[in-house]
């Protein structure tokens, strides 16, 4: 878009989606920007439905657990949070009132949320900035379909499939492999366990996997990827709808 096109858009709309991912390994077969490409495509698909534009993505973010793999490029937590805060102010100054960081990399989640909170005092009361993970609204059936998506062992197959659906030339399935970290059996949902282990242990994914694949990427298909992207679209739209309902329901202080 040109700046006059943005100005014309803002005359009747106010939402911007900022895809946020990472630059890190996804095994020997998939691109470093996997976690950027997926939310960017989902953002593209939902933009017209919610009256939004899609901003250029944030490629360099938080990847402490992945330190050790070649090709990884990440920034420090304070740097990332400062970037998010500055972007909130910049987009708001431009005229946007809904600033959605559509995240495709779990490690970013908390930092984005707290950076938005830090920025809130610099924004007018009618501006809201917040993160949404594209998988947050997925149902239990969705998770089962993709074999433990994001908190299980097969996320790489779903993500590789999504990239195949977006641009098959970016994936080399002949190099796809299967690798499963040597986790013990859990007696609780693995979310808090993984958060405690990975988020606080730089290089932990590098220790736990040799290739960085984490799952069985050999079963990835474009058909699975298209289904995964559409589930991501539905998930994101559902979360955004509920967020807006919450904003509308809460009385001003």
Residue 86: CB partners within 8 Å, gap ≥ 6?
none
- Residue 247 in tokens: 């904003």
State the CB neighbour count (10 A cutoff) for residue 251.
4
Report CA torsion sign: 209, 215, 218, 221: negative
Classified as helix, coil or strand, 119 is: helix
For the chain, list the domains and their CATH numbers: 3-242 (3.40.50.10310)
Predicted local confidence at residue 148, as pLDDT: 57
Beta bridge partners of residue 131, listed in sequence order? 101
Predicted local confidence at residue 154, as pLDDT: 61
Predicted local confidence at residue 117, as pLDDT: 98
Predicted local confidence at residue 180, as pLDDT: 83
Predicted local confidence at residue 109, as pLDDT: 94
Q: Residues of the chain whose pLDDT is less than 70? A: 147-154
- Asked if 152 contacts 3 with a C-beta cutoff of 8 angstroms, the reply is no
The helix (run of H) or strand (run of E) holding residue 15 is: strand 15-20
Beta bridge partners of residue 52, listed in sequence order? 15
User: Any alpha helices (H) in the chain, and if so which ranges?
Assistant: 3-10, 34-50, 77-94, 109-120, 140-145, 155-166, 190-199, 204-208, 222-249
User: CA 54 → CA 1, 18, 155, 251, distances in Å?
Assistant: 10, 6, 25, 30
Helices and strands of the chain, counted as H and E runs:
9, 6
Residue 31: CB partners within 8 Å, gap ≥ 6?
37, 163, 170, 171
Predicted local confidence at residue 195, as pLDDT: 86
- How many residues are listed for the chain in this entry? 253
């Amino acid at each position: 878009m040109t700046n006059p096109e943005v100005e014309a858009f803002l005359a009747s709309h106010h939402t911007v989606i900022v895809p946020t991912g990472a630059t890190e390994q996804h095994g020997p077969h998939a691109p470093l920007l996997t976690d950027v490409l997926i939310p960017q495509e989902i953002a593209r698909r939902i933009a017209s439905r919610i009256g939004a534009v899609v901003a250029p993505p944030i490629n360099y973010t938080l990847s402490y657990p992945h330190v050790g793999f070649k090709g990884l490029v990440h920034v420090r937590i304070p740097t990332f949070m400062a970037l998010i805060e500055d972007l909130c102010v910049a987009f708001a100054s431009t005229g946007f009132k809904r600033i959605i960081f559509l995240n495709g990399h779990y490690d970013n989640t908390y930092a984005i949320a707290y950076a938005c909170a830090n920025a809130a005092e610099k924004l007018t009361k009618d501006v809201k900035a917040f993160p949404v993970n594209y998988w947050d609204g997925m149902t239990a059936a969705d998770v089962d379909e993709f074999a433990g998506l994001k908190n299980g062992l097969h996320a790489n197959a779903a993500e590789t499939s999504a990239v195949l659906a977006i641009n098959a030339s970016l994936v080399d399935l002949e190099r796809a492999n299967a690798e499963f970290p040597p986790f013990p059996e859990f007696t609780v949902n693995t979310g808090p366990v993984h958060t405690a282990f990975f988020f606080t242990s730089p290089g932990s994914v590098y220790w736990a996997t040799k290739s960085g694949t984490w799952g069985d990427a050999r079963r990835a298909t474009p058909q699975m990827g298209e289904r995964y992207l559409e589930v991501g679209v539905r998930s994101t739209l559902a979360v955004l709808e509920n967020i807006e309902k919450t904003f509308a329901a809460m009385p001003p202080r």
